[in-house]
Amino acid sequence: MKPLKSRSTFDLTLLIIGWMFIGAKGIVLVRFMLGGILFEFWAFRWIVSLMLIWGLFMSGVGLLNWGGGRQAAEFLMLLFG
């Protein structure tokens, strides 16, 4: 088997599109790579928002390197909130 190639930009685009179309109903499709395994599941919007914000602050890495955790969290709040 070939290892799965990371398509993080593509997956992020799908995630954002998923938020735009499905987020209004309060349920979103979550996709992420962990150890070469693709995880995909449905979750409530507020749970995913908490997970993303917590992950950004704990890692100290901004969303797509956009200047740190606080700006990334504000971006997420504006985009998904």
Q: How confident is the model at residue 3 (pLDDT cuts 50, 70, 90)?
A: very low
- Tokens standing for 58? 């704990």
Number of domains in the chain: 1
**Is residue 27 domain-resident?**
yes
**Is residue 3 domain-resident?**
no
Q: What is the pLDDT of residue 62?
A: 46
Digit-coded pLDDT (tens) for 7-53: 555 556 655 555 555 545 566 666 666 666 666 666 666 666 777 76
**Is residue 59 domain-resident?**
yes
In this structure, which amino acid lies at residue 80?
F
Q: Which domain holds residue 64?
A: 8-80
**Is residue 23 domain-resident?**
yes
Instruction: Give residues with Cβ within 8 angstroms of 68, minimum separation 6.
Output: 60, 62
**Is residue 2 domain-resident?**
no
Instruction: Give residues with Cβ within 8 angstroms of 60, minimum separation 6.
Output: 68, 69
